[in-house]
Amino acid sequence: MEEKPWMKAWPEGVPNTLEYPEIPLFQILRDTAARVPQKTATIFFNKRMSYQELDALSDKMAVMLKEMGVEKGDRVALFLPNSPQFVIGHFGILKAGGVSVPFNPTYKGREVQRQLENCDARIMLALDIVYDPVHKVRKETPLEHVVLTSIVDYMPGGLRTFASLKKDIRPRSYPDTLRFKDLLNKALGEPPEVDIDPKEDVAVLLYTGGTTGTPKGVMLTHYNQVANAVQAGAFGYLGEDAVVMAVLPYFHTYGITICMHTPIHLGGSIVLLPKFGIKETLKAIQKYRPTHFPGVPTMYVALLSSPELQKYDLRSIKFCVSGAAPLPPEVARRWKEVTGAMIVEGYGLTETSPLTHANPMDDWGKVRFGSIGIPVPDTEVKVVDLETGAKELQQGEIGELLIRGPQVMKGYWNEDEETRQVLRDGWFYTGDIAKMDEDGYFSIVDRKKDMIIVGGINVYPRDIEDVLFEHEAVELAAVIGVPDEFHGETPKAFVVLTNDYKGKLTEKELLDYCIENLAKHKVPKYLEFKDELPTTLIGKVLRKELREAPTSE
């Protein structure tokens, strides 16, 4: 392999090229279950599930889906938080030959409807306590079968009985739905034998805004996902002794690869948390002693800011990778003081499964704060000029970041033109502006201006603007990201009201409307009424001028 500038910083013991088995993604679970059947695979509210149990339950899920008519390539939706049901459902879909399509379980009806219509999923596995938005739009979607599960289904017996009495999480029923555990109990026989071509067949369809901000389904093949699990395992020092804290949501590429596929491939254990809460996370770390805690900067900031931090022992944590947003150096240093753990910045995109870069984790002296690190094994990277995208630039020069490797997506679902724009001669054009320093470390200098990163989750202005424009009082709307101490960024909306509503509609009323129609992380924190918005001659709003204008906050 050609010597690259970053090779001198290469982590000790990590080969610069790896072997990637051409197997179906579900085979990583089968292989681990055969190798360490009694090893704990998942921990959920103190309920431990072995690899043997997980493999058997996902087999039953595959049988269940086969009986529902699922065939190779059919998309099956998951509307769930992190839970044993998500893992069982995900691998069951794959074993049935289907394509797993995770949904953000905080989505509202219109967001669910749009994604269901795009992926054409006929079956959904959903958590009952978050199902209501789906129920309201179900008749307008392709859904034929909905299978409901309860958060208490895989809790320990005593806790399950207690939790079932709590109003906010007790099981709920809806008409024309099926119950998950009932169907699994009836699923008999062996899962179907499906002929999978790992390099061609899609395993997971994850939705992202890509380079334009319009949500698109990213087609990740079985090979893409297996390869990235192998890469992440090697570069992140994971093994059978790893206990991974899975609080990053599984509907996000970062969570599903780093906190599910990678530890399952290697035979580690996963601590499942349905959502991030400061006290709940601190208690789980102390109780279950995770060794790896992948996260985003807002999580680390929140934990470090907790007045109860000193009550908990976090010293079990050995490695942390922070992604999705820039990591402030002082946060990394403070985290090391508290936990003794290495916390480094990495980089990836949904289109790259996601991991492509990370700071070396073998030596604190190799960490470059403000840098996304160096490419992981077998990942080719270059920076090209912004004008043509064809000229490779020298170290220190700023241009667009291009990536090629086994983890790069097959393309966008039903978006051939968008795919051609970003995949050229095997290279993925990220749309991110970067540079490489003299030692081969990469830094993101700029990014797609319109995208807002709220606590590590991509938010696209158009999603919010579409909702605002549906309100009869709104004549014109534009959304930008503004700095936020906790989330890194937060949406701010600028709105021009129609003449009939000027002076009559309040900002609070319009924000309440957003709360009713948008997922929580998309709701603007700020909303400002304007008499007019800056536009081009053809009427396109100039967000750049809105960003540069003095803030009224």
> What are the pLDDT digits (tens) for 387-434?
888 999 999 998 899 999 999 999 999 999 999 999 999 999 998 888
Q: Is residue 230 part of a domain?
A: no
Going by C-beta distance under 8 Å and a sequence separation of 6 or more, which residues neighbour residue 19?
230
Report cis status (omega within 30 of 0) of the bond before 354.
yes
Q: Is residue 193 part of a domain?
A: no
pLDDT the model gives residue 448 = 54
The pLDDT-based confidence of 158 (bands split at 50, 70, 90) is confident
CB 127 within 8 A of CB 150: yes
* Residue 511: CATH number of its domain: 3.30.300.30
**How many folded domains does the chain comprise?**
1
Domain that holds residue 544: 452-548
The pTM for the full model equals 0.85
pLDDT the model gives residue 94 = 98
pLDDT the model gives residue 341 = 86
Whole-number percent of the chain with pLDDT over 90: 71
Q: Is residue 425 part of a domain?
A: no
Q: Is residue 477 part of a domain?
A: yes
pLDDT the model gives residue 397 = 93
- Largest Cα–Cα distance in the chain? 69
Q: Is residue 211 predicted with pLDDT exceeding 50? A: no
pLDDT the model gives residue 29 = 98
537: how many CB neighbours lie within 10 A of its CB? 5
Q: Is residue 176 predicted with pLDDT exceeding 90? A: yes
Q: Is residue 512 part of a domain?
A: yes
Q: Is residue 1 predicted with pLDDT exceeding 60? A: no
Residue 424: strand, helix, or coil:
strand
Q: Is residue 379 part of a domain?
A: no
Distance linking the first and last C-alpha atoms of the chain: 54
Q: Is residue 480 part of a domain?
A: yes
Going by C-beta distance under 8 Å and a sequence separation of 6 or more, which residues neighbour residue 493?
464, 465, 468, 477, 478, 479, 514, 524, 526, 527, 528
Q: Which run of H or of E encompasses 431?
A: strand 427-436
Residue keyed to tokens 């980089």? 347
CA atoms within a 13 Å half-sphere pointing along the CA-CB vector of 527: 23
pLDDT the model gives residue 299 = 87
Q: What is the dihedral of CA 155, 157, 158, 162, to 10 degrees?
A: 60
Q: Is residue 174 predicted with pLDDT exceeding 60? A: yes
CB 494 within 8 A of CB 477: yes
Instruction: Identify which of 289, 195, 277 has the alpha carbon closest to the alpha carbon of residue 241.
Output: 289
pLDDT the model gives residue 524 = 95
Strands 355-358 and 374-375: antiparallel
The pLDDT-based confidence of 226 (bands split at 50, 70, 90) is very high
Going by C-beta distance under 8 Å and a sequence separation of 6 or more, which residues neighbour residue 108?
133, 516, 517, 518, 519
Please, what is the average pLDDT of the chain?
Answer: 91
Measured in whole angstroms, the distance separating CA 405 from the mean position of its chain's CA atoms is 20
Q: Is residue 431 part of a domain?
A: no
